[in-house]
Amino acid sequence: MNFVVFFVIFALYVGGCVFVALRMSKCIPSKVGRIAFRSVVALMSVMFFIHRAISDIVPEWLVRLLYIASTMWLVIVMYLVIVLLVFALARGIARWRKGEIEPLNMRSFWNSWLIIGIILFCGIMNAYSPKLTHYTLHSDNVESGDTLRIALVSDLHMGYAVRGGDIERLVAMINAQNADFCLIAGDLFDGDVRPVVNGNLGAALKQLKTHRGTFAVLGNHEYLGNADIAEEYIKGLGINVLRDSAVAVSTTSFDMKPYVWFIGRDDYSQQRNNYKSIDELNCDTCQLKIVIDHQPARFSDSQRIGADLHVSGHTHAGQVWPMRIFTKMIYELDYGYLRKGSTDFIVTSGFGTWGPRFRTGNAPEVVVIDITK
């Protein structure tokens, strides 16, 4: 199934690159110009694969440059296809109404790039403008008059695009919330551990301030790199990593009794590797159960054990419009809030981005959850 999905995505990408090269080159009057443009498109189209092939043998600054350029190209191709199809539709309607229209020319070429430039500018600005999202939940397992505040963040994707300054801004946002706990729902790394470890990009996370601690799980991108190195690095920042494990945390800053039970599940992609079932991680004597699971894919498990809250990330709420159409099709809840039975589910759009710092259709966020009686 994974191979089929990959093949479909790869075929669509190749088809999009060919369409862009052929369609836009028709706007260029000179043969030399057309050949040059098609050559540039061909080079950019294979840049991502070049980056993956040589990342171990070239300097880190070059890997970063290739990574950002090649992943941004994926976005550019998608939006160029959309823009060119809209233009083609408009030209078809004009031809139907008038019978004859002006042939494609350089004005059409530059108008296409102008629209792409505006989209890129807005998407980049949006990716650097995180918001606070607030939920107030109610639970009988909280003492009357108490409020448990949780700061939730996911998908930091530290690496070649998300840098140390971004993490400093994240920490400032979380520290301003005066939270009892901070939960990090996976994908702290973008995959490759080298830029994070070598540049100590997560150093600011040592400054996270909560009353009772910070807890994290691993996501699929930790496993795309080296999950063991990622885990050790995260622990070195003073963050408790729950890797198919659970922990009881006393809550002396308020009157809950006897404790909160955090269940951190290993990423859904690792189910085949002797993962623990949620029943093995459950505790029937705790007062409040909170499940942290990177991918929003095992809601029924959390319901079955009577979890009060289940938090996830992973989807980025699509990150790039119109990709949320597909995340909505794949996941029962791809973003936002859902209540099923006695369990509240929250999926965050995440703080960072896969690929370039680019978002359209949604914003990065830090989630604040208040749980009261």
Structure confidence by residue, pLDDT tens digits, 190-230: 988 999 999 999 999 999 999 889 999 999 999 998 999 99
Sign, CA torsion 35/37/40/44:
negative
Residue indicated by tokens 């990065």: 364
Residue indicated by tokens 């994070």: 196
Count CB-CB contacts under 10 A for residue 239: 20
Structure confidence by residue, pLDDT tens digits, 248-279: 887 655 555 558 899 999 998 886 666 788 88
Check residue 2 and give its pLDDT.
Answer: 55
Give residue 62's region: left, alpha or beta (phi > 0; psi -120 to 50): alpha
What is the average pLDDT value for the chain, to the nearest integer? 90
Confidence tier at 1 by pLDDT (50, 70, 90): very low
What kind and span of H or E run contains 240?
strand 240-241
Contact 275, 298 (CB under 8 A): no
Structure confidence by residue, pLDDT tens digits, 63-101: 899 999 999 999 999 999 999 999 989 888 888 887 777
Is 61's pLDDT higher than 80? yes
Confidence tier at 141 by pLDDT (50, 70, 90): confident
Q: How far apart are CA 323 and CA 339, in angstroms?
A: 24
Check residue 256 and give its pLDDT.
Answer: 53
Structure confidence by residue, pLDDT tens digits, 337-357: 999 988 999 999 999 999 889
3-state SS assignment for residue 202: coil
Structure confidence by residue, pLDDT tens digits, 3-60: 676 788 888 899 999 999 999 999 999 999 999 999 999 999 999 889 888 888 888 8
Query: Could you tell me which residue, 283 or 167, shows the higher pLDDT?
Result: 167
Six-digit token pair at 42? 């061909």
Q: How far apart are CA 362 and CA 353, in angstroms?
A: 11
Beta bridge partners of 249: 260
The whole-number average pLDDT for the span 226-240 is: 95
- From the number of C-beta atoms within 10 Å of its C-beta (0-12, 13-18, 19+), residue 8 rates as exposed
Q: Which of 252-256, 293-297, 322-326 has the lowest mean pLDDT?
A: 252-256
Check residue 10 and give its pLDDT.
Answer: 85
Is 238's pLDDT higher than 80? yes
